[in-house]
């Protein structure tokens, strides 16, 4: 069963749109679970997207099966007391600090993430301050900012209208109960680092909010990040302008955001983060040339700042410039192979369309491993098609089933179900004894 490359390219690229994804502490990634990215992205450890020690992702002892809990931990409606409801509905506050292995605060703000059983992606709660301290009310997510980075891959490659994550941050968030919290852990997310975790099991609303210290260990082979060193050099007024721009972006007030970003750049022309976010604002107003120019200026200001590379890769994928997509994603992975599962995905699509199926398969497998929280299920679809072309029907069946599991309502779900049924039919034929 051979799937034509051109047909697959059309399937993956139909309706390419530009949307927004959550800014994991301005990391990507740390989308991206364990480790530096992973979960990707953007995974434990440093950014929440990576899985397992081999990829630098620190998943820690993430709570899993709760079926064998002691009944006293989760009282049933029959044996709980009304007073317990009153206490359970109280807000829960947590505080602590994050330090690196040499005892110093993180070199830039780290995102404090909550990882909970039954929840696919890490929940971003707060940022650390300059001394590595954090303090927050669980579930409020006050001050968390939207990402101006690449869009959700399901939107980008499925033809759906763009989803927006620019709203819904801070204030009026559902309150987290003590029972829900007991199935969670806390960690820090920072590209290039792997994080320890702190279990929140047994915490109550009236407990001392101090949870202790989260430790970050530097990964030696990471030289690219989702935050820029140029931000540290920005004058106070430029930083204020960037903050105002981010506030406008949260409200989709693109003209106001553009004005503030241009002000920030007039005060600090090498402000890579401002260039990058200006590129994203240009995308929202359909100024594609302006977006590319802004991304290129961001890279010129800070060649180790990863986010604008991803923006350029997306633009080139939209135009099916596969050689350029491959070159850009190779550059990203050379700088940081932990925090950016989207780079694996774009690279795999580019390699497939350049007729290099072996490289596409390799990138898909590594990307799926990095994407601990299955934020890019389309990688499984692509891998399934690659394996089907290689007549590995059992492997293809498993990957297509995985795609449908994590994206059951995708625009192409019915088409993929038909593909899966066809492949499973072939698997059954192979298992049937021949007369």
pLDDT at 312: 96
In terms of residues, how long is the chain?
435
Please tell me the pTM assigned to this model.
0.65
Q: What is the pLDDT along the chain (435 residues), one digit of tens a residue?
A: 554 444 344 344 433 333 333 233 333 333 333 333 333 333 333 333 333 333 333 333 323 333 333 333 333 344 444 444 455 567 889 999 999 988 999 988 899 999 887 665 678 899 999 899 999 998 876 555 544 444 444 333 332 333 333 333 344 455 788 888 888 899 998 877 888 999 999 888 888 999 999 999 887 777 777 778 888 889 999 999 999 998 999 899 999 999 999 999 999 999 999 999 999 999 999 999 999 999 999 999 999 999 999 999 999 999 999 999 999 999 999 998 888 899 999 999 999 999 999 999 999 999 999 887 788 999 999 999 999 999 999 999 999 999 999 899 999 999 999 999 999 988 887 777 766
- 8 Å CB contact between 325 and 315: no
Q: Angle at the Cα of 243 (from 237 to 246), degrees rounded to 5?
A: 145
338 close to 47: Cβ distance less than 8 angstroms: yes
Selection from 430, 416, 293 nearest residue 11 by Cα: 416
The torsion of the CA quartet 343, 346, 352, 356, rounded to 10 degrees, works out to -30
Q: Read off the tokens for 319.
A: 């135009």
User: Alpha-carbon distance 154 to 164, whole Å?
Assistant: 12
- Cα(394)–Cα(8) distance, integer angstroms: 20
Q: Which two tokens stand for residue 2?
A: 């051979």
């Amino acid at each position: 069963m051979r799937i034509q490359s051109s047909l697959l390219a059309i399937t993956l690229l139909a309706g390419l749109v530009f949307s927004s994804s959550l800014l994991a502490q301005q990391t990507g990634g740390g989308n991206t679970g364990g480790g530096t990215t992973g979960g990707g992205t953007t995974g434990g450890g440093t950014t929440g997207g990576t899985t397992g020690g081999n990829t630098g992702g620190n998943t820690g002892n993430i709570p899993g099966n709760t079926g064998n809990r002691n009944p006293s931990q989760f009282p049933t409606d029959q044996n709980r007391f009304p007073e317990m409801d009153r206490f359970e509905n109280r807000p829960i506050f947590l505080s602590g600090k994050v330090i690196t292995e040499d005892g110093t605060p993180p070199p830039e703000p780290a995102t404090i993430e909550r990882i909970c059983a039954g929840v696919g992606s890490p929940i971003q709660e707060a940022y650390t301050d300059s001394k590595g301290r954090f303090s927050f009310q669980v579930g409020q997510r006050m001050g968390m900012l939207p990402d101006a980075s690449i869009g959700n891959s399901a939107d980008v490659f499925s033809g759906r209208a763009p989803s927006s994550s620019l709203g819904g941050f801070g204030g009026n968030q559902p309150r987290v109960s003590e029972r829900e919290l007991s199935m969670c852990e806390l960690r820090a997310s920072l590209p290039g680092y792997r994080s320890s975790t702190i279990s929140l099991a047994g915490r109550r609303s009236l407990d001392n909010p101090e949870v202790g210290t989260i430790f970050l260990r530097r990964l030696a082979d990471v030289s690219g990040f989702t935050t820029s060193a140029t931000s540290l050099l920005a004058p106070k007024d430029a930083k204020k302008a960037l903050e105002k721009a981010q506030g406008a972006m949260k409200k989709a007030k693109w003209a106001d955001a553009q004005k503030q970003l241009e002000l920030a750049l007039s005060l600090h022309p090498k402000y890579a983060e401002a260039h990058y976010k200006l590129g994203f604002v240009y995308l929202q107003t359909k100024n594609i040339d302006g977006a590319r120019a802004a991304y290129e200026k961001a890279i010129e200001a800070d060649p180790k700042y990863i986010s604008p590379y991803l923006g350029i890769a997306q633009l080139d994928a939209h135009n099916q410039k596969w050689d350029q997509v491959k070159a850009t994603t190779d550059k990203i992975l050379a700088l940081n192979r932990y925090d950016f599962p989207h780079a694996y995905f774009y690279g795999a699509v580019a390699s497939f369309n350049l007729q290099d199926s072996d490289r596409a398969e390799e990138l898909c497998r590594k990307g799926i491993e990095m994407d601990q929280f299955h934020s890019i299920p389309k990688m499984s679809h692509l891998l399934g098609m690659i394996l089907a072309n290689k007549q590995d029907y059992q492997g293809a069946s498993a990957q297509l089933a995985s795609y449908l599991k994590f994206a059951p309502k995708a625009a192409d779900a019915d088409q993929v179900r038909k593909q899966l049924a066809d492949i499973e039919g072939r698997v059954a034929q192979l298992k049937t004894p021949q007369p």
